[in-house]
Structure 1
Amino acid sequence: MAAARTATRRSTAPADAAESANAQPDTDETTEKPSLKTATNKTASAAKTRTPRKTATKSAAAGPKKTKADATKKAGSPADGEAGDGEEPDLDSPDLEDLEDVELEADVVEEPVEEVDEKDPRKETKDGDFVWDEEESEALRQARKDAELTASADSVRAYLKQIGKVALLNAEEEVELAKRIEAGLYAAERVRKSEDESSEKLNPQLRRDLRWIVRDGERAKNHLLEANLRLVVSLAKRYTGRGMAFLDLIQEGNLGLIRAVEKFDYTKGYKFSTYATWWIRQAITRAMADQARTIRIPVHMVEVINKLGRIQRELLQDLGREPTPEELAKEMDITPEKVLEIQQYAREPISLDQTIGDEGDSQLGDFIEDSEAVVAVDAVSFTLLQDQLQSVLATLSEREAGVVRLRFGLTDGQPRTLDEIGQVYGVTRERIRQIESKTMSKLRHPSRSQVLRDYLE
């Protein structure tokens, strides 16, 4: 059957193509078919490999013709060891029939199924944002708070693990490091002075030695700092819960530790930790005074507030009750009025959005009166009064009405003096006073004042 189809197609081809095809030696046919089969197998395996990929394009749907042409082109390319462009492969070979079956398999493309998300009306608004009910919102807030606490705890744990790698120092090691730091500071001063034009220049060897001593002093300083970072953590724990995060307290304490390293004098005979404690505590307390409060209070007043709180706790423990201002004033050697003033300074601001009650459905701002808010009744009454005033002033002359408006500030709320009104109208202040007196007499007439008298009650 394959030979019959081949003969039929070759009979319909042009004569010159048939002659050229028949003129080919048998060696070409035997050489061509294995190469064609190899290319066909490669194309079939590539098509089977690409079949599982899910695509939904029109080009993939129209693939049979394009795939067949590409396969034929690959089969007849000289790169595969076959004949050149002038030679035509046998289209009726069994290998190409297998290729057609493979092409049909490659053309079966699975179309992706579009998943449509069902919209939950409770969780979508007009702006596309999500809205949660109260229980979900409270759970999310609690989860966010727990996540922040966990992240902070992880950061502290990682920091403690890092500083724990440095061994503690004994007294002899602290003195040795302090001597190296002092030598480095002295060498840095010598190098700085030598760079001035007026001072004596140093020879290159001495300059190199001094710079090495400076670097050695920096290394000793870093070693002394890293070995005492745990001291900062132990002191910062005492100030937690006072308006600053624990890591911020540690950071401020580290600044005090750096200052202590720079100022430490090993010749005094005391340990470095004893000296550094005061600098660390000062740095932490100063930072709390500057940053812990929403409304900043001077540092000296913060110290007085802390002293008052400490004495108040001691008296509460001794007396078993809250101490009176007189008792606090006696302990602090100040007046009771000063105690009350300090207690007012110590008050913390409260957010108006703070929830009130067990259910948490009300806020503090809902129970506080807004003194600047305009009552609806008063607003309507004021509007009616303005209308009545305009109608009464319309019965006067233009100059009289203008003088009254400027004199009492009925237009912009800013009363004018007689001199200012006189400059507007180009007359003396005495003339303006006469016009004002005459106009007020007219306004006191019952025909005009009766409509305004009700607003005075």
Structure 2
Amino acid sequence: MYSAIAGNPSESGSFSELGARALTANQAKPCQCELLSAKKAARMKKYCVTRELQKRAEKICSAEIEYVFSDHFDQDDAGEQILQPLHQLCSELNPEVDDETEGFPAQYAPLYSVPLLEKEQEVILFKGMNYLKYRASVLRDQIDLKSPCVGLLDRIEQKLKDAHRLRDYIIQANLRLVVSIAKGLTDRANTFEDIVSDGQMPLIRAVEIFDIDRGNRFSTYGTWAIRNFLFRATKKGRKYRKSFVSGVESAAMGLSDFRSTPRSHESYHHSIRYVLKQVLHTLDEREQLILKRRFGLYHSDAPEKFREIADDLGISTERVRQLTIRSLQRMRDVIEEQNLELPEIPEII
């Protein structure tokens, strides 16, 4: 009900063995047929290539291997630099039920069976997961569908299994995020159990596409992904989301309010500069130009009035104001994703 991931035991033995296996397997070794003489290897391949083996190879080639690439993956010592810390960490991690299960039904104990991850542990696990997928993808390009090597297929499948095991561990360590958000969204139509179950879908997806190289903690991105999904899916969540959206749009409308005091005006522009610098790349050139001039994002420029921008662009003041509001609305989803906030109305009026 609550989690197929949290409830399933390991499919590949102890978690502590994963790192050692990944490190050993990364040291490329020729499979048995490659060690034989060319003539004997040819006979062995002809004997071993069955329709079942070809189907297995075709299945691997047709499956999508999705990973977040890192520049570190192409380095000569990438395997040692990434998998050696993973080996050590996997041998140290021991799932234990912590004290946060108090007050919850017994069936939710597995949600807390994995301890919270520290930042350094998070980096090691995410890099290890994506590196194993990357290596599996590289090895997959070497498959000969007419005469697949069973040893190569074994290596690819094992790397993918280990990568999925790491993914599941990260998910388990962050299931608390789902529980904490679900507690505030229960209503007559949505039970706590249903919300917890639904909230794991965006959590899984967030783990799969999160880029650890950006330097952010996964909890920040994961919380946004879960909230964004559940806010759309539940009645109470839609109410919260509507309030948030209204606040953003109202703040945008406040841009044209000339009743603001110099002090609040300065405070607003200081706050909005930081936000806009993070998300300006999502707009087209004209929208970027308007917002940069409106909020003084050029190094030495002061914020300009709508009238000044309109005169230079040859459009009406009202049109500049509308474009400003529309641009801020378009950036709303990006702002949510990066956990940024526009200043509230009291700061600008």
TM-score range, shorter chain: 0.3 to 0.5
- TM-score normalised to the size of structure 1? 0.28
- TM-score normalised to the size of structure 2? 0.36
Q: Which has the higher contact order (CA 8 A, sep 6+)?
A: 2
Larger Rg: 1
